[in-house]
């Protein structure tokens, strides 16, 4: 696992030991960022939820995002993210929060709006829907915020509109998918 492009290009990233995280493969990360690059600017605020190794947020920072916040409830994952940020020399543009996602979102309110929110929750537990319910009325989200969900390709997203979002793009891979959504009436 490595940083694909940008200022930290080719630097290796570590993943936490064990099976609690599923780092996004380099190939899928490259495909994801090919789709994301039109949304990343020098003032982009990036929120990486269920961050695992931090590989997605670190890639966003390497490609020019201004700042990234990484949230994970695993101490091992947060230690790994911190180490990866140090090794890529991107820690001065990042914050790591060791807490569950909903508690972290509440704590982040009042700190600004995020341009891109990426979430990669454990599959098949419904955590993405709980998180979207919260984000639907959160001040962390603007009408322009792009939210990307990485999920099992078997995840059903038939209630996205009921949650207050509209689908922008859907990309399916062998075992998982990325769903790109935006607020629909915020």
88-to-25, 60, 98, 106 alpha-carbon distances in Å: 18, 12, 20, 29
Give every CB contact of residue 141 below 8 A, 6+ residues apart in sequence.
Answer: 113, 114, 117, 135, 147, 183, 186
pLDDT (tens digit per residue) in 22-53:
666 778 888 899 899 898 989 999 999 999 99
Q: Which pTM was predicted?
A: 0.92
Q: What domains does the chain contain, in order, with CATH numbers?
A: 27-183 (3.40.50.150)
**Band (18; pLDDT cuts 50, 70, 90):** low
Tokens of 137: 């009325």
């Amino acid at each position: 696992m490595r940083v694909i492009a940008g200022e930290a290009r080719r630097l290796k990233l570590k993943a936490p030991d064990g099976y609690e995280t599923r780092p996004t493969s380099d190939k899928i990360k490259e495909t994801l960022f090919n789709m994301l690059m039109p949304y990343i600017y020098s003032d982009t605020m990036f929120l990486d939820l269920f961050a695992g190794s931090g590989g997605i947020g670190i890639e966003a920072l390497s490609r020019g995002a201004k700042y990234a916040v990484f949230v994970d409830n695993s101490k091992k994952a947060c230690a790994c993210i911190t180490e990866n940020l140090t090794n890529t020399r991107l820690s001065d543009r990042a914050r790591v929060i060791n807490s569950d996602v909903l508690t972290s979102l509440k704590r982040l309110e009042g700190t600004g709006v995020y341009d891109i929110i990426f979430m990669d929750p454990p599959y098949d537990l419904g955590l993405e829907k709980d998180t979207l319910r919260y984000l639907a009325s959160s001040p962390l989200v603007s009408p322009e915020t792009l939210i990307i969900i990485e999920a099992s390709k078997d995840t059903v997203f038939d209630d996205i509109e009921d949650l207050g979002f509209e689908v922008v793009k859907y990309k399916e891979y062998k075992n998982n998918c990325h769903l790109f959504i935006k607020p629909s009436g915020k």
